[in-house]
Structure 1
Amino acid sequence: MGENIDVVFLGVNDAGMRVYDWLCERSGVFVHSLLTTKEQLKMIEDIQPDFVISCGYPHIVPKKILDIPDEGCLNLHPAYLPYNRGANPNVWSIVEGTPAGVTLHWMDSGIDTGDIIARRTVETGFTDTGRDLHERLEEAQVKLFQEIWPDVVSGNVPEIKQSEEKGTYHRTEEFEEICQLDPDETVCIKNFLDRLRALTFPPYDNAEIEIEGETYYVEVDITK
Protein backbone atom coordinates (compact mmCIF):
# COMPACT_ATOMS: atom_id res chain seq x y z
CA MET A 1 0.00 0.00 0.00
CA GLY A 2 1.06 3.58 -0.62
CA GLU A 3 1.00 6.48 1.83
CA ASN A 4 -2.77 6.31 1.90
CA ILE A 5 -4.98 3.25 2.04
CA ASP A 6 -7.22 3.52 -1.01
CA VAL A 7 -10.80 2.43 -0.35
CA VAL A 8 -13.98 2.17 -2.38
CA PHE A 9 -17.10 1.91 -0.24
CA LEU A 10 -20.33 0.11 -1.12
CA GLY A 11 -23.41 0.91 0.91
CA VAL A 12 -26.83 2.48 1.23
CA ASN A 13 -28.15 2.00 4.78
CA ASP A 14 -27.65 3.96 8.00
CA ALA A 15 -24.91 1.70 9.36
CA GLY A 16 -23.09 1.90 6.04
CA MET A 17 -23.21 5.68 6.04
CA ARG A 18 -21.86 5.82 9.59
CA VAL A 19 -18.96 3.51 8.73
CA TYR A 20 -18.31 5.47 5.52
CA ASP A 21 -18.22 8.78 7.41
CA TRP A 22 -15.92 7.30 10.06
CA LEU A 23 -13.50 5.99 7.41
CA CYS A 24 -13.47 9.36 5.66
CA GLU A 25 -12.24 10.93 8.90
CA ARG A 26 -9.30 8.50 9.32
CA SER A 27 -5.85 9.78 8.61
CA GLY A 28 -4.01 7.64 6.11
CA VAL A 29 -7.24 6.51 4.45
CA PHE A 30 -8.56 7.88 1.18
CA VAL A 31 -12.13 6.86 0.36
CA HIS A 32 -12.51 7.42 -3.36
CA SER A 33 -16.21 6.77 -3.78
CA LEU A 34 -19.45 5.69 -2.18
CA LEU A 35 -21.16 3.35 -4.63
CA THR A 36 -24.82 2.39 -4.33
CA THR A 37 -25.75 0.86 -7.70
CA LYS A 38 -24.59 -2.20 -9.62
CA GLU A 39 -23.65 -0.07 -12.63
CA GLN A 40 -21.15 1.92 -10.57
CA LEU A 41 -19.02 -1.15 -9.82
CA LYS A 42 -17.02 -0.59 -13.03
CA MET A 43 -15.43 2.40 -11.27
CA ILE A 44 -13.49 -0.09 -9.13
CA GLU A 45 -11.66 -1.25 -12.26
CA ASP A 46 -10.43 2.30 -12.85
CA ILE A 47 -9.57 3.09 -9.22
CA GLN A 48 -7.79 -0.19 -8.37
CA PRO A 49 -8.23 0.33 -4.60
CA ASP A 50 -6.47 -1.49 -1.79
CA PHE A 51 -9.80 -2.39 -0.19
CA VAL A 52 -13.45 -2.57 -1.16
CA ILE A 53 -15.67 -2.27 1.92
CA SER A 54 -19.37 -3.06 1.87
CA CYS A 55 -22.11 -2.36 4.41
CA GLY A 56 -25.75 -2.42 3.35
CA TYR A 57 -24.97 -2.86 -0.35
CA PRO A 58 -27.90 -4.81 -1.85
CA HIS A 59 -26.23 -6.24 -4.98
CA ILE A 60 -24.02 -9.27 -5.56
CA VAL A 61 -20.48 -8.19 -6.45
CA PRO A 62 -19.09 -10.29 -9.35
CA LYS A 63 -15.84 -12.20 -8.93
CA LYS A 64 -13.97 -10.06 -11.49
CA ILE A 65 -14.56 -7.06 -9.19
CA LEU A 66 -13.73 -8.98 -6.01
CA ASP A 67 -10.36 -9.91 -7.51
CA ILE A 68 -9.29 -6.29 -8.08
CA PRO A 69 -8.36 -4.93 -4.60
CA ASP A 70 -4.88 -5.98 -3.52
CA GLU A 71 -5.89 -6.34 0.12
CA GLY A 72 -9.35 -7.78 -0.44
CA CYS A 73 -13.06 -7.00 -0.11
CA LEU A 74 -14.78 -6.74 3.28
CA ASN A 75 -18.46 -6.93 4.14
CA LEU A 76 -20.28 -6.01 7.34
CA HIS A 77 -23.35 -8.21 7.76
CA PRO A 78 -25.97 -7.71 10.50
CA ALA A 79 -26.02 -11.39 11.48
CA TYR A 80 -23.98 -13.83 13.50
CA LEU A 81 -22.67 -15.85 10.57
CA PRO A 82 -23.11 -18.54 9.46
CA TYR A 83 -26.66 -17.93 10.71
CA ASN A 84 -28.98 -15.67 8.73
CA ARG A 85 -27.06 -15.15 5.54
CA GLY A 86 -29.01 -13.14 3.01
CA ALA A 87 -31.97 -10.84 3.63
CA ASN A 88 -33.64 -9.59 6.82
CA PRO A 89 -31.35 -11.15 9.47
CA ASN A 90 -33.09 -9.24 12.27
CA VAL A 91 -36.41 -10.85 11.37
CA TRP A 92 -35.14 -14.42 11.16
CA SER A 93 -33.20 -14.26 14.42
CA ILE A 94 -36.52 -13.58 16.14
CA VAL A 95 -38.67 -15.96 14.08
CA GLU A 96 -36.29 -18.92 14.23
CA GLY A 97 -34.52 -18.25 17.52
CA THR A 98 -31.08 -18.24 15.90
CA PRO A 99 -28.20 -16.21 17.37
CA ALA A 100 -28.40 -12.49 16.65
CA GLY A 101 -25.22 -10.58 15.99
CA VAL A 102 -22.93 -8.91 13.48
CA THR A 103 -20.03 -10.17 11.40
CA LEU A 104 -17.13 -8.67 9.46
CA HIS A 105 -16.03 -11.10 6.76
CA TRP A 106 -14.08 -11.33 3.54
CA MET A 107 -16.30 -11.30 0.48
CA ASP A 108 -16.35 -14.19 -1.96
CA SER A 109 -18.63 -15.09 -4.87
CA GLY A 110 -21.32 -16.47 -2.52
CA ILE A 111 -23.84 -14.54 -0.45
CA ASP A 112 -22.35 -13.86 3.00
CA THR A 113 -20.25 -17.03 2.78
CA GLY A 114 -16.71 -15.62 2.96
CA ASP A 115 -14.18 -16.26 5.73
CA ILE A 116 -15.05 -14.59 9.03
CA ILE A 117 -12.73 -11.92 10.42
CA ALA A 118 -14.71 -11.04 13.55
CA ARG A 119 -18.22 -11.42 14.89
CA ARG A 120 -20.15 -10.35 17.98
CA THR A 121 -23.44 -11.53 19.43
CA VAL A 122 -26.21 -9.05 20.21
CA GLU A 123 -28.59 -9.65 23.08
CA THR A 124 -32.29 -10.13 22.37
CA GLY A 125 -35.39 -10.38 24.52
CA PHE A 126 -39.06 -11.29 24.19
CA THR A 127 -40.09 -7.62 24.11
CA ASP A 128 -37.91 -6.89 21.07
CA THR A 129 -39.54 -5.97 17.77
CA GLY A 130 -37.86 -6.29 14.40
CA ARG A 131 -37.13 -2.58 14.57
CA ASP A 132 -35.60 -2.80 18.04
CA LEU A 133 -33.21 -5.54 16.97
CA HIS A 134 -32.43 -3.84 13.64
CA GLU A 135 -31.31 -0.69 15.46
CA ARG A 136 -29.22 -2.68 17.92
CA LEU A 137 -27.55 -4.57 15.06
CA GLU A 138 -26.75 -1.33 13.23
CA GLU A 139 -25.02 0.05 16.31
CA ALA A 140 -23.09 -3.18 16.77
CA GLN A 141 -21.92 -3.19 13.14
CA VAL A 142 -20.39 0.27 13.48
CA LYS A 143 -18.67 -0.59 16.75
CA LEU A 144 -17.31 -3.87 15.39
CA PHE A 145 -15.82 -2.21 12.33
CA GLN A 146 -14.21 0.58 14.34
CA GLU A 147 -12.73 -1.99 16.72
CA ILE A 148 -11.35 -4.33 14.04
CA TRP A 149 -10.23 -1.88 11.32
CA PRO A 150 -6.73 -1.31 12.81
CA ASP A 151 -6.14 -5.07 12.76
CA VAL A 152 -7.37 -5.28 9.18
CA VAL A 153 -4.91 -2.59 8.13
CA SER A 154 -2.04 -4.35 9.90
CA GLY A 155 -3.01 -7.70 8.39
CA ASN A 156 -3.44 -9.14 11.86
CA VAL A 157 -6.84 -10.77 11.44
CA PRO A 158 -7.96 -14.41 11.42
CA GLU A 159 -9.71 -16.03 8.49
CA ILE A 160 -12.29 -18.41 9.94
CA LYS A 161 -13.98 -20.72 7.47
CA GLN A 162 -17.76 -20.77 7.73
CA SER A 163 -19.37 -24.09 8.55
CA GLU A 164 -21.15 -25.72 5.63
CA GLU A 165 -23.24 -27.88 7.97
CA LYS A 166 -24.47 -25.09 10.25
CA GLY A 167 -26.06 -21.82 9.35
CA THR A 168 -29.15 -20.51 7.59
CA TYR A 169 -29.94 -18.45 4.51
CA HIS A 170 -33.06 -16.46 3.62
CA ARG A 171 -34.34 -14.71 0.52
CA THR A 172 -36.48 -11.56 0.40
CA GLU A 173 -39.34 -13.68 -0.94
CA GLU A 174 -39.40 -15.64 2.32
CA PHE A 175 -39.88 -12.41 4.26
CA GLU A 176 -42.74 -11.44 1.98
CA GLU A 177 -44.36 -14.84 2.55
CA ILE A 178 -44.38 -14.59 6.35
CA CYS A 179 -45.95 -11.12 6.09
CA GLN A 180 -49.13 -12.76 4.79
CA LEU A 181 -51.21 -13.93 7.77
CA ASP A 182 -53.67 -16.74 7.08
CA PRO A 183 -56.87 -16.24 9.13
CA ASP A 184 -57.48 -20.02 9.14
CA GLU A 185 -53.98 -21.05 10.22
CA THR A 186 -53.56 -22.92 13.50
CA VAL A 187 -50.58 -21.52 15.39
CA CYS A 188 -48.49 -21.99 18.50
CA ILE A 189 -49.01 -18.75 20.45
CA LYS A 190 -45.32 -18.22 21.30
CA ASN A 191 -44.20 -18.81 17.70
CA PHE A 192 -46.93 -16.54 16.36
CA LEU A 193 -46.01 -13.75 18.73
CA ASP A 194 -42.37 -14.13 17.67
CA ARG A 195 -43.46 -13.76 14.06
CA LEU A 196 -45.55 -10.67 14.78
CA ARG A 197 -42.88 -8.91 16.80
CA ALA A 198 -40.26 -9.73 14.14
CA LEU A 199 -42.51 -8.07 11.56
CA THR A 200 -43.25 -5.03 13.74
CA PHE A 201 -41.15 -2.27 12.23
CA PRO A 202 -42.94 1.09 12.33
CA PRO A 203 -43.61 3.06 10.21
CA TYR A 204 -43.71 0.11 7.78
CA ASP A 205 -46.75 -2.13 7.45
CA ASN A 206 -45.45 -5.69 7.22
CA ALA A 207 -47.80 -8.28 8.69
CA GLU A 208 -51.17 -8.18 6.97
CA ILE A 209 -54.37 -10.18 7.05
CA GLU A 210 -57.42 -10.12 4.80
CA ILE A 211 -60.82 -10.40 6.47
CA GLU A 212 -64.00 -10.29 4.36
CA GLY A 213 -62.20 -8.55 1.51
CA GLU A 214 -60.57 -5.93 3.72
CA THR A 215 -56.81 -5.82 4.40
CA TYR A 216 -55.67 -5.11 7.95
CA TYR A 217 -52.12 -4.54 9.18
CA VAL A 218 -50.92 -6.08 12.42
CA GLU A 219 -48.27 -5.00 14.92
CA VAL A 220 -47.56 -6.21 18.44
CA ASP A 221 -46.34 -4.43 21.57
CA ILE A 222 -45.08 -6.71 24.33
CA THR A 223 -44.24 -5.26 27.73
CA LYS A 224 -43.30 -6.68 31.08
Structure 2
Amino acid sequence: MLEVEALTKRFDRLVAADRVTFSLARGEVLGFLGPNGAGKSTTMRMIAGFLPPTSGTARVCGHDVVTAPIAARRALGYLPEGAPLYGEMTPAGLLDFVARARGFRGAAKASRVSRAVERLELERVLHQPIDTLSKGFRRRVGLAQAILHEPGVLILDEPTDGLDPNQKRQVRALLRELSANTAIVVSTHILEEVEAVCSRAIVIAGGRVVVDSTPSELAARGPLDEVFHALTRPSEAAAAEA
Protein backbone atom coordinates (compact mmCIF):
# COMPACT_ATOMS: atom_id res chain seq x y z
CA MET A 1 0.00 0.00 0.00
CA LEU A 2 2.91 2.35 0.75
CA GLU A 3 6.46 2.05 -0.59
CA VAL A 4 9.10 4.59 0.41
CA GLU A 5 12.41 4.34 -1.43
CA ALA A 6 15.53 6.32 -0.47
CA LEU A 7 13.42 9.41 0.23
CA THR A 8 15.75 12.35 0.79
CA LYS A 9 15.19 16.06 1.49
CA ARG A 10 17.95 18.65 1.69
CA PHE A 11 17.57 22.28 2.74
CA ASP A 12 20.89 23.83 1.69
CA ARG A 13 23.42 22.00 3.89
CA LEU A 14 20.82 20.46 6.18
CA VAL A 15 19.76 16.89 5.32
CA ALA A 16 16.31 16.64 6.95
CA ALA A 17 15.57 13.15 5.61
CA ASP A 18 18.35 10.86 4.47
CA ARG A 19 17.45 7.92 2.19
CA VAL A 20 14.42 6.89 4.27
CA THR A 21 13.19 3.50 3.07
CA PHE A 22 10.34 1.29 4.24
CA SER A 23 7.13 -0.34 3.00
CA LEU A 24 3.75 -0.82 4.60
CA ALA A 25 1.00 -3.34 3.86
CA ARG A 26 -2.75 -3.18 4.35
CA GLY A 27 -3.55 -3.87 7.99
CA GLU A 28 -0.28 -2.50 9.37
CA VAL A 29 -0.13 0.47 11.74
CA LEU A 30 3.36 1.94 11.80
CA GLY A 31 4.54 4.05 14.73
CA PHE A 32 6.96 6.67 13.37
CA LEU A 33 9.19 7.75 16.26
CA GLY A 34 12.02 10.19 16.70
CA PRO A 35 13.15 13.25 18.65
CA ASN A 36 12.22 16.76 17.55
CA GLY A 37 13.98 17.60 14.30
CA ALA A 38 14.63 13.95 13.44
CA GLY A 39 12.90 14.19 10.04
CA LYS A 40 9.51 12.62 10.81
CA SER A 41 7.30 15.48 9.63
CA THR A 42 9.53 16.17 6.62
CA THR A 43 9.22 12.54 5.51
CA MET A 44 5.45 12.55 5.93
CA ARG A 45 5.09 15.83 4.03
CA MET A 46 7.00 14.34 1.11
CA ILE A 47 4.77 11.25 1.10
CA ALA A 48 1.69 13.49 1.23
CA GLY A 49 2.91 15.65 -1.65
CA PHE A 50 3.41 18.85 0.35
CA LEU A 51 7.18 18.82 -0.11
CA PRO A 52 9.02 17.67 -3.24
CA PRO A 53 11.82 15.21 -2.43
CA THR A 54 15.39 16.08 -3.33
CA SER A 55 15.79 12.47 -4.41
CA GLY A 56 14.08 9.14 -3.99
CA THR A 57 10.33 8.64 -4.15
CA ALA A 58 7.27 7.08 -2.54
CA ARG A 59 4.33 5.17 -4.00
CA VAL A 60 0.84 5.34 -2.50
CA CYS A 61 -1.29 2.38 -3.61
CA GLY A 62 1.05 2.06 -6.60
CA HIS A 63 0.96 5.75 -7.57
CA ASP A 64 4.31 7.57 -7.56
CA VAL A 65 4.17 10.83 -5.56
CA VAL A 66 6.61 12.48 -8.00
CA THR A 67 5.31 11.30 -11.39
CA ALA A 68 1.61 10.76 -10.51
CA PRO A 69 0.97 13.17 -7.62
CA ILE A 70 -2.79 13.61 -8.10
CA ALA A 71 -3.49 9.87 -8.19
CA ALA A 72 -1.29 9.40 -5.11
CA ARG A 73 -3.18 12.10 -3.18
CA ARG A 74 -6.54 10.57 -4.10
CA ALA A 75 -5.47 7.37 -2.34
CA LEU A 76 -4.10 9.18 0.72
CA GLY A 77 -5.56 10.66 3.88
CA TYR A 78 -3.35 13.16 5.71
CA LEU A 79 -3.54 14.86 9.09
CA PRO A 80 -0.61 17.28 9.41
CA GLU A 81 0.87 18.48 12.67
CA GLY A 82 -1.31 21.15 14.28
CA ALA A 83 -4.35 20.24 12.14
CA PRO A 84 -4.49 23.52 10.17
CA LEU A 85 -8.15 24.20 9.35
CA TYR A 86 -10.33 27.06 8.10
CA GLY A 87 -11.24 28.60 11.44
CA GLU A 88 -14.20 30.62 10.18
CA MET A 89 -15.90 27.49 8.81
CA THR A 90 -17.95 25.02 10.84
CA PRO A 91 -17.07 21.32 10.93
CA ALA A 92 -20.18 20.69 8.82
CA GLY A 93 -19.06 23.22 6.21
CA LEU A 94 -15.47 22.01 6.16
CA LEU A 95 -16.36 18.35 5.78
CA ASP A 96 -18.87 19.19 3.03
CA PHE A 97 -16.13 21.16 1.23
CA VAL A 98 -13.60 18.33 1.60
CA ALA A 99 -16.13 15.76 0.35
CA ARG A 100 -16.87 17.90 -2.74
CA ALA A 101 -13.14 18.43 -3.34
CA ARG A 102 -12.76 14.65 -3.19
CA GLY A 103 -15.39 14.31 -5.92
CA PHE A 104 -18.40 13.17 -3.90
CA ARG A 105 -21.88 14.48 -4.72
CA GLY A 106 -25.46 13.94 -3.56
CA ALA A 107 -26.19 10.91 -1.39
CA ALA A 108 -22.60 9.68 -1.57
CA LYS A 109 -21.33 12.99 -0.19
CA ALA A 110 -23.91 13.05 2.60
CA SER A 111 -23.07 9.47 3.55
CA ARG A 112 -19.32 10.12 3.71
CA VAL A 113 -19.74 13.25 5.84
CA SER A 114 -22.23 11.56 8.17
CA ARG A 115 -19.97 8.56 8.67
CA ALA A 116 -16.93 10.72 9.48
CA VAL A 117 -18.97 12.84 11.93
CA GLU A 118 -20.25 9.70 13.66
CA ARG A 119 -16.82 8.09 13.92
CA LEU A 120 -15.26 11.19 15.53
CA GLU A 121 -18.34 12.08 17.60
CA LEU A 122 -18.60 15.62 16.26
CA GLU A 123 -22.41 15.97 16.37
CA ARG A 124 -22.59 18.51 19.19
CA VAL A 125 -20.04 20.91 17.65
CA LEU A 126 -21.02 20.43 14.01
CA HIS A 127 -22.33 23.97 13.51
CA GLN A 128 -19.87 25.94 15.66
CA PRO A 129 -17.04 27.94 14.04
CA ILE A 130 -13.90 25.84 14.17
CA ASP A 131 -11.98 28.72 15.80
CA THR A 132 -14.28 28.41 18.85
CA LEU A 133 -13.60 24.69 19.36
CA SER A 134 -11.21 23.18 21.88
CA LYS A 135 -7.86 21.85 20.66
CA GLY A 136 -9.17 18.32 21.05
CA PHE A 137 -12.24 18.93 18.90
CA ARG A 138 -10.17 20.70 16.24
CA ARG A 139 -7.92 17.65 16.13
CA ARG A 140 -10.95 15.40 15.71
CA VAL A 141 -12.27 17.55 12.86
CA GLY A 142 -8.86 17.25 11.20
CA LEU A 143 -8.94 13.48 11.56
CA ALA A 144 -12.51 13.36 10.19
CA GLN A 145 -11.44 15.10 6.96
CA ALA A 146 -8.48 12.72 6.62
CA ILE A 147 -10.62 9.56 6.76
CA LEU A 148 -13.73 10.88 4.97
CA HIS A 149 -12.89 9.28 1.61
CA GLU A 150 -11.72 5.99 3.19
CA PRO A 151 -8.17 6.18 1.82
CA GLY A 152 -5.90 3.22 1.26
CA VAL A 153 -3.06 4.95 3.12
CA LEU A 154 -3.46 7.23 6.14
CA ILE A 155 -0.65 9.55 7.35
CA LEU A 156 -1.25 11.00 10.83
CA ASP A 157 1.10 13.47 12.52
CA GLU A 158 0.43 13.43 16.29
CA PRO A 159 -3.26 12.42 15.90
CA THR A 160 -4.06 12.41 19.64
CA ASP A 161 -2.31 15.69 20.47
CA GLY A 162 -4.62 17.76 22.67
CA LEU A 163 -7.12 14.97 23.32
CA ASP A 164 -8.24 13.99 26.82
CA PRO A 165 -7.77 10.36 27.97
CA ASN A 166 -11.26 9.26 26.87
CA GLN A 167 -10.82 10.88 23.44
CA LYS A 168 -7.43 9.20 23.06
CA ARG A 169 -8.99 5.80 23.72
CA GLN A 170 -11.72 6.52 21.15
CA VAL A 171 -9.21 7.56 18.48
CA ARG A 172 -7.01 4.54 19.17
CA ALA A 173 -10.04 2.27 18.82
CA LEU A 174 -10.88 4.01 15.53
CA LEU A 175 -7.34 3.44 14.21
CA ARG A 176 -7.59 -0.24 15.04
CA GLU A 177 -10.90 -0.37 13.16
CA LEU A 178 -9.52 1.50 10.14
CA SER A 179 -6.40 -0.66 9.96
CA ALA A 180 -8.44 -3.60 8.64
CA ASN A 181 -8.49 -1.98 5.19
CA THR A 182 -5.83 0.72 5.46
CA ALA A 183 -2.07 1.11 5.89
CA ILE A 184 -1.53 3.70 8.62
CA VAL A 185 1.53 5.76 9.61
CA VAL A 186 1.28 7.42 13.03
CA SER A 187 3.93 9.91 14.06
CA THR A 188 3.85 10.31 17.82
CA HIS A 189 6.01 11.18 20.80
CA ILE A 190 3.69 9.20 23.11
CA LEU A 191 5.39 5.84 23.51
CA GLU A 192 2.34 4.21 25.12
CA GLU A 193 0.47 4.97 21.90
CA VAL A 194 2.90 2.81 19.97
CA GLU A 195 2.26 -0.10 22.33
CA ALA A 196 -1.51 0.48 22.19
CA VAL A 197 -2.15 0.67 18.44
CA CYS A 198 0.96 -0.04 16.35
CA SER A 199 2.03 -3.33 14.81
CA ARG A 200 5.41 -1.91 13.74
CA ALA A 201 7.72 0.85 14.91
CA ILE A 202 10.34 2.83 13.02
CA VAL A 203 12.75 5.03 14.94
CA ILE A 204 14.31 7.87 12.95
CA ALA A 205 17.17 10.06 14.15
CA GLY A 206 19.26 12.57 12.25
CA GLY A 207 17.05 12.00 9.22
CA ARG A 208 17.88 8.26 9.06
CA VAL A 209 15.97 5.13 10.01
CA VAL A 210 17.85 3.53 12.91
CA VAL A 211 15.34 0.78 13.79
CA ASP A 212 12.45 -0.94 12.00
CA SER A 213 10.94 -3.42 14.43
CA THR A 214 7.79 -4.39 16.31
CA PRO A 215 6.76 -2.71 19.57
CA SER A 216 7.13 -6.04 21.39
CA GLU A 217 10.68 -6.49 20.08
CA LEU A 218 11.55 -2.97 21.23
CA ALA A 219 9.93 -3.57 24.61
CA ALA A 220 12.01 -6.74 25.01
CA ARG A 221 15.12 -4.54 25.10
CA GLY A 222 13.81 -2.69 28.17
CA PRO A 223 11.45 0.19 29.04
CA LEU A 224 10.47 1.91 25.78
CA ASP A 225 11.52 5.38 26.91
CA GLU A 226 15.01 4.12 27.77
CA VAL A 227 15.30 2.17 24.51
CA PHE A 228 14.15 5.20 22.53
CA HIS A 229 16.71 7.43 24.25
CA ALA A 230 19.52 4.94 23.65
CA LEU A 231 18.63 4.60 19.95
CA THR A 232 18.45 8.33 19.24
CA ARG A 233 21.23 9.65 21.47
CA PRO A 234 24.18 8.82 19.15
CA SER A 235 22.59 10.61 16.19
CA GLU A 236 21.75 13.64 18.32
CA ALA A 237 25.35 13.82 19.52
CA ALA A 238 26.65 13.52 15.98
CA ALA A 239 24.32 16.29 14.86
CA ALA A 240 25.52 18.53 17.68
CA GLU A 241 29.16 17.96 16.73
CA ALA A 242 28.39 18.80 13.09
What TM-score do the two structures reach when normalised by structure 2? 0.32
Q: Which has the larger radius of gyration?
A: 1
What TM-score do the two structures reach when normalised by structure 1? 0.34
